[in-house]
């Protein structure tokens, strides 16, 4: 076997550069002739997870749905949940009512679905009845008569006491008089009060008798006066008892009528009993006898006495046949999520009551499904922690944000917690889920079901037909013009390009939907009855043109020799690498000159990008692999005696990824062998330590980026791109690239190994070791090994330490 020969890689045939859609099994002219697909395609794994997660009724089995935003996760999950929820019983209604014993702790009451508004209306009707019934009862003749008899009895007892005292005073020469300061005793004669002058004219004996009688009767007067408050209290107690009896008779009938509609709900009956007791206990307030401050104390928010008996309907099912609720909260702040307590400014203070309790999304979704965006939830302060507390406690507790962070001092409410029975569905991208899973162990405790939506599907006759039906559904849903057969084929082909794989089709339906809408706009502008392939192609071109300013500026810099890129000739230690830039969702390929310099040294390959802190860790890893390749291929009997530097020329931003590692290795081999590399072939691909060229991403954009430059300078027929053989299956190149390759004006070469690549780039065989372990003379590998042996001899001759040739080895040499 000739070990000097390495087969020159052949260019790919045009049919391998672009895979056409095969719709031969489908007979249609436009999408109007296709039966639209119902639901989604290619998401069996995710659909099974959603179906399982929505049906299992155990704590912790909530759903976390992950995937690309354009995968239509939300519409798909919502459609599935809608079917599931329709078969479920609607949840109960919840209301908050006043707690007459502890007003700061409103009472939560559950009612059968749809009954809460009836209870609210019944209580409103009760209040309206009592507004009339109570005043009428207390204005009735019976009440006035009974009240008058109580007042008369009090007046009589008081009058009799003072009459008896007045009689005693008269017999002792005194008279009982009423003054502004109260009752008093004064000396009298012939029933008339004696003036002080006249009293002083009396003899001493008579004056002493009068004074003695005054002292005795004053004690009696004091005793009578002290009895007056107790008699007044007795009167008030009798009036209060009378008021209660009258109120009980006036209220009981209305309360009983209200109870009749809720005999099946014990909590309502208990609350109505409390309402009746409170009405009877506080009847003066409701008939206008209380002072304003007393009325305000009963209801600090509104000051209306009867409002304390109203009902705050928190959540209700308007249609008892609607099934379980499905609620999507787009702004999951703490208040929007778990509810909040509102306040009103009154007389310079913030006050609240049970009627100002507002529901959150969890209340509205309780008994059904709550859909949340994970990123929005995590970016809202306190919301994620509050959600986990609810799931752990299995109840909804309305919490004040200020109290949670230790700043609250306002008197507020403590509403009854409500039992939690909701299925939470979180939506997010994969990276967010994996990060959250790594840093928050509680995630797996509360979200045990993962629904991972695929980004693409294997391409075949069946999947292409399914994609055609999906496009028909998109057209129908959006009310667009039907798409012609060739237009459907182009969309399927574009779906493969979006998937970065000719053997797959993207499932990111929203991106296809946007493209179809743009093409529909172009078709309508042109007056077409259906969207054609040309309309879709025009939409693709316009979309690229809108986003390609940076690409055009980059190419312009190359054409003006501001960025140095050669597309002809050959250079030692210089090669054109290919990179992909992704800016705002638009990707384009950009050629970059890569150069390498070598000299004797201590076996170190210096990554200048890393030294300048512009290289990312993956790129640095790729460069370090080059050292492993060189050592494994050329330093079998001794140490590596090489100092090499590799750099991306005119690169002023960060460099990441290992897709240029094969190009860097070609540049090193060229510099060591002193053999020039073709500049009309650009290279992409990563390499391992065994010299195998590995697949990379963005292969279509990389090829097209170099093709655009070569076309601008003029295609010579020798230009092309060398790609990993593993990437051939991903090729879905632009039509102009494929056409140029078919005409022999451009070429795409599949490369399996570094030996194949260096043969293509230099025109010289790479060479394989013979049985004696030597590379054949004149081969690239022989030239490289000879140069490395020369470097080793140089180091031995001058001395490793004295010559300082290894001075570049320093403490940060290790990765």
The band of 55, judged by pLDDT with boundaries at 50, 70 and 90, is very high
What is the predicted pLDDT for the residue at 280?
82
What is the mean predicted confidence (pLDDT) over 751-768? Answer: 93
pLDDT tens digits along 687-703: 998 899 999 999 999 99
What is the mean predicted confidence (pLDDT) over 130-156? Answer: 76
The catalytic position among 661, 702, 740, 787 is 702
Distance between CA atoms of residues 65 and 604, nearest Å: 47
What is the predicted pLDDT for the residue at 498?
92
Percent of the chain exceeding pLDDT 70 equals 84
pLDDT tens digits along 460-482: 999 999 999 999 999 998 999 99
Q: For residue 529, how many other CB atoms are within 10 A of its CB?
A: 11
Torsion, Cα 139 144 147 152, to 10 degrees, reads 150
What is the predicted pLDDT for the residue at 241?
77
What is the mean predicted confidence (pLDDT) over 166-194? Answer: 66
Q: Which residues contact 250 (CB under 8 A, 6 or more apart)?
A: 130, 133, 134, 136, 137
How much is the mean pLDDT over the chain? 84
Distance between CA atoms of residues 275 and 127, nearest Å: 11
Tell me the pairing of strands 182-189 and 192-193: antiparallel
Q: Give the total residue count for the chain.
A: 815
Higher confidence at residue 296 or residue 598?
598
Higher confidence at residue 623 or residue 766?
766
Tokens of 740: 């140029």
What is the mean predicted confidence (pLDDT) over 201-217? Answer: 70
What is the mean predicted confidence (pLDDT) over 362-389? Answer: 94
- Tell me the HSE value of 234 on the side-chain side, using a 13 A CA sphere: 13
Contact by Cβ (8 Å): 647, 594: yes
- Tell me the HSE value of 244 on the side-chain side, using a 13 A CA sphere: 11
Residue the block writes with tokens 């509205």 = 364
What is the predicted pLDDT for the residue at 176?
65
Tokens of 433: 């889920």
Higher confidence at residue 206 or residue 441?
441
Check whether 804 has a pLDDT greater than 60.
no
What is the predicted pLDDT for the residue at 811?
39
The band of 808, judged by pLDDT with boundaries at 50, 70 and 90, is very low
What is the predicted pLDDT for the residue at 572?
94
Which of 181-190, 352-361, 596-605 is the least confident region? 181-190
For residue 759, which of 1, 10, 12 has the smallest C-alpha distance? 10
The band of 5, judged by pLDDT with boundaries at 50, 70 and 90, is low
Check whether 108 has a pLDDT greater than 70.
yes
What is the mean predicted confidence (pLDDT) over 680-689? Answer: 93
The band of 673, judged by pLDDT with boundaries at 50, 70 and 90, is very high
What is the mean predicted confidence (pLDDT) over 378-404? Answer: 89
The band of 451, judged by pLDDT with boundaries at 50, 70 and 90, is very high
Tokens of 625: 């692999």
What is the predicted pLDDT for the residue at 651?
77
- Residue 433, classified by CB atoms within 10 Å of its CB into exposed (0-12), middle (13-18) or buried (19+), is buried
Q: Is 710 helix (H, G, I), strand (E, B) or coil?
A: helix
**Catalytic site includes residue 651:** no
Check whether 752 has a pLDDT greater than 80.
yes
Q: For residue 100, how many other CB atoms are within 10 A of its CB?
A: 18
Q: Which residues contact 482 (CB under 8 A, 6 or more apart)?
A: 30, 31, 32, 475, 530, 531
CA distance to 81, 453, 507, 508, 679, per residue, from 68 (Å): 20, 8, 9, 7, 39
Helices 780-798 and 661-673 meet at what angle, rounded to 10?
A: 70
Distance between CA atoms of residues 758 and 691, nearest Å: 11
Tell me the pairing of strands 174-179 and 504-506: unpaired
**Catalytic site includes residue 54:** no
What is the mean predicted confidence (pLDDT) over 587-591? Answer: 90
What is the predicted pLDDT for the residue at 293?
44
Which of 181-195, 489-503, 530-544, 732-746 is the least confident region? 181-195
Contact by Cβ (8 Å): 329, 371: yes
The single-letter DSSP state of residue 258 is H
The single-letter DSSP state of residue 348 is T
Check whether 810 has a pLDDT greater than 80.
no
Please measure the distance between the N-terminal and C-terminal CA atoms of the chain and give it in whole angstroms.
41
Tokens of 289: 């006898």
Percent of the chain exceeding pLDDT 90 equals 50
CA 769 to chain centroid, in Å, comes to 60
What is the predicted pLDDT for the residue at 69?
83
The single-letter DSSP state of residue 61 is B
What is the mean predicted confidence (pLDDT) over 27-50? Answer: 89
Q: Where are the beta strands (DSSP E) in 497-642?
A: 504-506, 570-571, 574-583, 586-599, 604-607
Which of 386-395, 500-509, 532-541, 632-641 is the least confident region? 632-641
The catalytic position among 463, 554, 645, 659 is 659
Check whether 1 has a pLDDT greater than 50.
no
Q: Which residues contact 363 (CB under 8 A, 6 or more apart)?
A: 94, 314, 315, 338, 339, 396, 418
What is the predicted pLDDT for the residue at 649?
86
For residue 623, which of 642, 640, 606, 598 has the smallest C-alpha distance? 606
Distance between CA atoms of residues 574 and 557, nearest Å: 19
The band of 292, judged by pLDDT with boundaries at 50, 70 and 90, is very low
Which of 40-54, 247-261, 718-732, 795-809 is the least confident region? 795-809
Q: In degrees rounded to 5, what are phi and psi of residue 353?
A: -155, 180
The band of 814, judged by pLDDT with boundaries at 50, 70 and 90, is very low
What is the predicted pLDDT for the residue at 225?
72
Q: What predicted TM-score, i.e. pTM, was given to this entire model?
A: 0.81
pLDDT tens digits along 487-541: 999 999 999 999 999 999 999 988 899 999 999 999 999 999 999 999 999 999 9
């Amino acid at each position: 076997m000739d070990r000097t020969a390495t087969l020159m890689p052949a260019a790919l045939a045009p049919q391998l550069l672009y895979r056409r859609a095969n719709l031969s099994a489908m007979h249609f002219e436009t999408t109007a002739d296709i039966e639209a697909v119902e639901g989604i395609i290619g998401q069996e794994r995710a659909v099974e997870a959603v179906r399982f997660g929505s049906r299992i009724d155990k704590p912790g089995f909530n759903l976390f749905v992950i995937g690309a935003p354009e995968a239509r996760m939300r519409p798909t999950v919502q459609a599935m949940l809608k079917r599931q929820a329709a078969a479920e019983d609607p949840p109960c209604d919840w209301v908050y009512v006043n707690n007459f014993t502890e007003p700061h702790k409103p009472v939560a009451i559950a009612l059968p679905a749809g009954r809460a508004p009836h209870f609210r209306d019944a209580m409103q009707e009760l209040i309206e009845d009592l507004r009339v019934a109570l005043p009428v009862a207390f204005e009735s003749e019976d009440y006035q008569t009974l009240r008058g008899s109580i007042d008369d009895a009090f007046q009589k007892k008081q009058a009799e006491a003072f009459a008896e005292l007045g009689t005693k005073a008269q017999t002792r020469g005194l008279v009982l008089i009423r003054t502004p300061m109260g009752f008093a005793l004064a000396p009298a004669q012939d029933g008339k009060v004696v003036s002080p002058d006249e009293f002083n004219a009396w003899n001493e004996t008579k004056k002493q008798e009068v004074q003695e009688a005054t002292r005795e009767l004053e004690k009696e007067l004091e005793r009578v006066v002290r009895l007056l408050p107790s008699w007044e209290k007795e009167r008030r107690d009798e009036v209060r008892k009378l008021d209660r009896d009258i109120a009980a008779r006036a209220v009981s009938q209305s309360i009983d009528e209200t109870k009749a509609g809720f005999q099946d709900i014990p909590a309502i009956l208990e609350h109505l009993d409390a309402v009746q007791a409170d009405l009877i206990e506080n009847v003066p307030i409701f008939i206008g006898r209380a002072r304003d401050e007393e009325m305000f104390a009963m209801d600090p928010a509104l000051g209306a006495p009867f409002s304390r008996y109203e009902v705050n309907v928190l959540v209700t099912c308007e249609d008892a046949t609607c099934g379980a609720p499905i609620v999507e909260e787009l702004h999951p702040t703490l208040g929007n999520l778990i509810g909040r307590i509102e306040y009103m400014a009154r007389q310079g203070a913030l006050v609240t009551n049970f009627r100002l309790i507002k529901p959150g999304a969890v209340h509205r979704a309780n008994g059904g499904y709550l859909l949340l965006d994970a990123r929005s939830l995590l970016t809202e302060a306190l919301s994620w922690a509050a959600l986990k507390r609810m799931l752990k406690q299995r109840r909804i507790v309305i919490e004040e944000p200020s109290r949670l962070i230790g700043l609250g001092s306002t008197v507020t409410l403590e509403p009854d917690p409500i039992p939690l029975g909701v299925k939470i569905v979180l939506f997010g991208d994969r990276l967010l889920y994996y990060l959250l899973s790594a840093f928050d162990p509680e995630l797996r405790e509360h979200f045990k079901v993962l629904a991972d939506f695929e980004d693409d599907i294997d391409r075949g006759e069946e999947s292409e037909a399914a994609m055609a039906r999906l496009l028909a559904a998109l057209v129908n849903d959006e009310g667009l013009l039907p798409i012609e057969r060739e237009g459907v084929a182009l969309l399927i082909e574009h779906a493969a390009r979006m998937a970065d794989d000719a053997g797959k089709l993207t499932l990111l339906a929203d991106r296809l939907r946007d493209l179809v809408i743009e093409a529909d706009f172009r078709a309508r502008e042109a007056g077409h009855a259906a969207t054609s392939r040309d309309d879709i192609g025009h939409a693709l071109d316009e979309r690229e043109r809108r986003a390609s300013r940076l690409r055009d500026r980059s190419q312009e810099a190359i054409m003006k020799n501001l960025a140095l890129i050669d597309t002809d000739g050959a250079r030692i230690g210089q090669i054109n690498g290919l990179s992909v830039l992704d800016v705002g969702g638009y990707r384009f390929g950009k050629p970059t000159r890569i150069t390498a310099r070598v000299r004797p040294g201590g076996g170190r390959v210096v990554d200048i990008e890393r030294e300048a802190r512009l290289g990312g860790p993956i790129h640095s890893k790729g460069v370090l692999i080059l050292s492993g390749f060189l050592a494994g291929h050329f330093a079998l009997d001794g140490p590596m005696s090489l100092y090499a530097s590799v750099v991306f020329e005119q690169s002023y931003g960060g460099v990441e990824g290992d897709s240029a590692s094969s190009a860097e290795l070609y540049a090193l081999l060229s510099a060591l062998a002193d053999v020039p590399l073709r500049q009309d072939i650009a290279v992409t691909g990563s390499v391992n330590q065994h010299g195998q060229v590995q697949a990379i991403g963005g292969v279509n954009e990389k090829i097209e980026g170099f093709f655009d430059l070569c076309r601008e300078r003029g295609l010579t027929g020798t230009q092309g791109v060398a790609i990993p053989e593993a990437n051939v299956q991903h090729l879905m190149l632009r039509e102009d690239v494929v056409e140029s390759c078919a005409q022999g004006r451009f070429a795409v070469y599949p490369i399996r190994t570094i030996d194949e690549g260096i043969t293509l780039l230099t025109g010289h065989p790479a060479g394989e070791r013979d049985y004696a372990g030597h590379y054949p003379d004149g081969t690239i590998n022989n030239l490289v090994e000879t140069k490395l042996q020369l470097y080793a001899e140089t180091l031995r001759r001058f001395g490793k330490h004295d010559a300082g040739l290894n001075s570049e080895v320093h403490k940060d040499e290790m990765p």
